[in-house]
Amino acid sequence: MPKRSSILKLSSAQRQLETLESEAVQLADPTPFTQALAGLREQLDSLEVAYEELEQQNEELDTTREALEHQRHRYRHLFEEAPFGYLITDVHGVVEEANRVAAEMFGLRQELLTSKPLPVYLEMADRPAFRNLLLRVCAGEPAGELEVRIRPRYREPFSMVLTAVRDLDAQNRTARLRWSLRDVSTTRAAEEALRASEERLRHSQRLEAVGRLAGGIAHSFNNLLAAIAFQCELLCDGMPPEYERRPHVEEIQRAGERAATLARQLLAYGRKQVLQPRVMSLNQVIQ
């Protein structure tokens, strides 16, 4: 509407000038009046050119405004629908804006998360490190990262990585901070499971090494027992049954047989085999 009004006023001024020019011709001495009208005509032509330039600038400004509005909506969409949590805080860590994922991480609605100091949701042990990060980033560090433990509502505490980037004002000072939030609890659980699996593997490898060692010792020990048993048999064959020292030799022979049984068990352990399984009574074994 303002544009149409300006066009009407400009057209009306041109018509009035043309009327005055036609009336000036009828005067006895129109020269002074005609010169004045010529000056007005030049001014009116200049205004018309300026008006056209202004209209062109207005069109360019409207186009730029539409582009900025489109970018703003696009930024807002990216901010809201991002797969990670995003926050905007002041230099003290007070939340000014939060996207949907960030609010879900803290167990709050977006409007309830704003105006809240971010440190209140951190474990007490992580708050000094968070304050140190704020100071470093506000002092000029381009970006800072910190892993903390978050205490959300209606959920167990979990690990989160915070990354802070500063926004500058016209004086190149830190105006606010932009944060990205990444839940690493699943990653930490996977790392813990991997460490436990590696520890079980190392334990299994140690047991396997012990088994091989036990098998080697049992094999050598069994060879020595075979020699002892053979010598006992020779002694028993050369002794009459009533000889007073024969029971001692027989006892050595029986001890050798028990030792051979133990050696076979060690060999079975080294080979991961079970020989002659049988049901046993623990009470009888202890007795």
Sorted by where each begins, the domain ranges of the chain are: 2-79, 82-183, 189-286
Q: Residue-wise pLDDT tens for the chain (287 aa)? A: 455 555 555 566 666 666 665 655 555 555 655 656 666 666 667 767 777 777 788 778 877 777 777 676 666 666 677 678 889 899 888 998 888 888 888 888 888 888 889 998 999 999 999 999 988 888 888 788 899 998 887 778 888 899 998 888 777 777 789 998 988 887 777 778 888 888 888 888 887 887 777 777 777 877 888 888 888 888 888 788 777 888 888 888 888 888 888 877 777 766 655 556 778 899 998 99
**Which fold, 82-183?**
Beta-Lactamase (3.30.450)
In what helix (H) or strand (E) does residue 183 lie, and over which residues does it extend? Answer: strand 174-183
Do residues 120 and 108 lie in contact, with contact meaning Cβ atoms separated by under 8 Å? no
> Which residue, chain included where needed, has tokens 């080979």?
271
DSSP string, 88-131: EE-TT-BEEEE-HHHHHHHTS-HHHHTTSBGGGGB-GGGHHHHH
Tokens of 6: 């300006």
Say what the pLDDT of residue 6 is: 55
CB-based contacts of 240, cutoff 8 Å, min separation 6: 246
Do residues 160 and 87 lie in contact, with contact meaning Cβ atoms separated by under 8 Å? no
Question: In angstroms, rounded to a whole number, what is the distance separating the alpha carbons of residues 86 and 98?
Answer: 6
Question: In angstroms, rounded to a whole number, what is the distance separating the alpha carbons of residues 187 and 183?
Answer: 8
Question: In angstroms, rounded to a whole number, what is the distance separating the alpha carbons of residues 210 and 38?
Answer: 115
User: Per this entry, what is the length of the chain?
Assistant: 287
Helices (H) and strands (E) in the chain, counts: 8, 5
Q: Is 273 in a helix, a strand, or coil?
A: coil
Say what the pLDDT of residue 1 is: 45
**How distant is the alpha carbon of residue 162 from its chain centre?**
8
Task: Count CA atoms within 13 Å of residue 278 on its CB side.
Answer: 6
Tokens of 285: 């074994």
Say what the pLDDT of residue 169 is: 76
